[in-house]
């Protein structure tokens, strides 16, 4: 196997991860998806400002889709490209500076009728839950 094909085979490990379409992921889910121990994710949160999962009301770390992408990118820099933590941090910083124009936030496009239907369903659930007490 040539050095080039070895590099390609290595690179495919991180890029082959399929991130499910969910709003939030718990730290255990991210650890399984990214094949990393949870303690590594917690440590990386202290080292990389790009990783800022929100905390639920119970204190559980909730990672967004972009956070999972960032974890995979950091993993690739550290494990596959041989960056040190400081070097990866600097590299990520320079990537952000190079990308002056950020893409707009992806808001789902839904019709007013769909939103009214969702609101009605939520109201029915609330009524059912209120009746239990």
Q: What angle do CA 100, 49, 60 make, to 5 degrees?
A: 125
The alpha helices in the chain, defined as continuous H runs, are: 3-15, 27-34, 38-47, 65-75, 85-98, 112-132
| Distances 79 to 14, 28, 104, 117 between C-alpha atoms, Å | 10, 20, 30, 47
Residue 93: partners with Cβ closer than 8 Å, 6 or more residues away = none
CATH architecture, range 3-102: Orthogonal Bundle (1.10)
Instruction: Kindly report whether the global pTM for this prediction surpasses the value 0.75.
Output: no
Of the pLDDT bands very low, low, confident and very high (cuts 50, 70, 90), residue 15 is low
pLDDT tens by residue, 36-82: 999 999 999 999 998 989 988 888 899 999 999 999 999 999 999 99
């Amino acid at each position: 196997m040539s050095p080039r094909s070895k590099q390609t085979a290595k690179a495919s490990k991180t890029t082959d991860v399929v991130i499910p379409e969910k709003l939030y992921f718990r730290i255990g889910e991210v650890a399984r998806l990214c094949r990393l121990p949870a303690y590594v994710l917690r440590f990386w949160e202290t080292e990389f400002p790009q990783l800022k999962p929100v905390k639920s009301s119970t204190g559980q770390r909730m990672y967004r889709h972009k956070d999972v992408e960032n974890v995979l990118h950091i993993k690739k820099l550290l494990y596959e490209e041989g960056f040190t933590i400081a070097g990866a941090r600097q590299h990520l910083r320079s990537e952000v500076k190079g990308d002056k124009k950020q893409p707009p936030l992806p808001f789902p496009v839904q019709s007013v009728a769909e939103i009214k239907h969702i609101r009605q369903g939520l109201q029915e659930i609330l009524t059912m839950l209120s009746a239990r007490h």
